[in-house]
């Protein structure tokens, strides 16, 4: 194997879908990694067709095409942090989990992407179970929103108490840490982190941002970037939340 170059900037890898309009997916991840001073690498799991009005379709890549993108870059670069976004099929999830197990990759932040804000499915129904069984054990953190946490656990999440129960259930399913994003609940924006049983609640004033897209992508990329810079998970989530709140504020005043 070729010797890897050591770079001063942390190298961050995203394995996710391409949203050509740049609102979400890999382009949002690359912008976020760059904003945190990381060098960005990316592999595409699905070519989607979309703009800010909605998603019109998607061509999912094969697992082989995904690993064919990742393996050459791993020969050249030492990856400091990684995240996964849209992983649309069971075979991609299985292969990405194998990459994390077998290659010299840091445990990723897994964003459990299931649907676009507009309602388009971004994962096959029969692949959702594989997310938990294959990828959760390989992840440093999973970042479901409330509908995703409900789908994964079968629990109903109506409040903070429900978020806590869902996080515990996700850890029982194999996740080391879960960040439940409370954006879908009314009131303040509350996110709950359960890291190996240590629970932290992050509160921020809700900013009405309408249909601002890609916030989940940016949040998980920002957390991964902070982990790559050596911060603890709690610090990383806190720093990433500050970044997203600022991005939402900028989008609202633009
Ligand atoms: N498109 C891609 C490729 C994504 O990865 C995601 C979310 O992760 C979305 C669309 C959905 O973004 P939004 O919820 O902002 O519509």
The residue to mutate among 86, 92, 212, having the most atoms of ligand 1 within 8 angstroms of its beta carbon, is: 86
pLDDT tens-place values along the chain, 254 residues long: 344 454 569 999 999 999 999 999 999 999 999 999 999 999 999 999 999 899 999 999 999 999 999 999 999 999 999 999 999 999 999 999 999 999 989 999 999 999 998 899 999 999 999 999 999 999 999 999 999 999 999 999 999 999 999 999 999 999 999 999 998 788 888 999 999 999 999 998 888 766 678 999 999 999 999 999 999 999 999 999 999 989 888 887 76
Distance CA 53, CA 9 (A): 36
Q: Edge-to-edge, what's the strand order for the sheet holding 54-60?
A: 54-60, 39-51, 11-18, 81-84, 109-110, 141-142, 177-181, 189-195, 198-204
How far apart CA 109 and CA 39 sit, in angstroms, is 17
Note the pLDDT tens digit of each residue in 49-97: 999 899 999 999 999 999 999 999 999 999 999 999 999 999 999 999 9
Please state the atom number of ligand 1 nearest to the C-alpha of residue 113.
8
**Cβ neighbours, 10 Å, residue 161:** 10
Q: Say what the pLDDT of residue 252 is.
A: 79
Q: Is the CB of 162 under 6 A from ligand 1?
A: no
- Write out pLDDT tens, residues 18-36: 999 999 999 999 999 999 9
pLDDT value of residue 206: 81
**What is the model's pTM?**
0.95
CATH of domain 11-253: 3.40.1190.20
Question: How far, in Å, CA of 198 to CA of 173, rounded?
Answer: 17
Q: Tell me the domain boundaries of the chain.
A: 11-253
């Amino acid at each position: 194997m070729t010797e890897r170059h050591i770079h001063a900037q942390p190298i961050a890898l995203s394995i996710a879908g391409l949203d050509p309009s740049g609102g979400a997916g890999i382009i949002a991840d690359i912008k976020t990694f760059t904003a945190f001073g990381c060098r960005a690498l990316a592999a595409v799991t699905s070519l989607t067709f979309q703009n800010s009005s909605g998603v019109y379709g998607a061509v999912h890549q094969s697992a082989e095409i995904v690993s064919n993108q990742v393996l050459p870059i791993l020969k050249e670069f030492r990856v400091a942090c990684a995240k996964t976004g849209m992983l649309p099929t069971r075979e991609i999830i299985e292969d990405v989990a194998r990459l994390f197990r077998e290659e010299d990759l840091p445990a990723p932040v897994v964003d459990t992407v299931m649907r676009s804000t507009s309602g388009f499915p971004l994962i096959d129904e029969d692949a959702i179970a594989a997310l938990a069984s294959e990828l959760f054990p390989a992840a440093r953190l999973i970042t479901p929103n409330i509908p995703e946490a409900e789908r994964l656990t079968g629990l109903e999440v109506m409040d903070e108490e429900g978020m806590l129960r869902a996080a515990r259930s996700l850890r029982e399913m194999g996740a080391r840490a879960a960040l439940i994003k409370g954006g879908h609940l009314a009131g303040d924006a509350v996110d709950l982190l359960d890291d190996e049983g240590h629970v932290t609640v992050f509160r921020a004033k809700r900013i009405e941002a309408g249909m601002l897209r890609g916030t989940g992508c940016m949040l998980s990329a920002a957390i991964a970037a902070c982990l790559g810079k050596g911060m603890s998970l709690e610090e990383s989530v806190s720093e990433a939340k500050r970044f997203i709140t600022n991005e939402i504020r900028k989008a609202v005043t633009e």
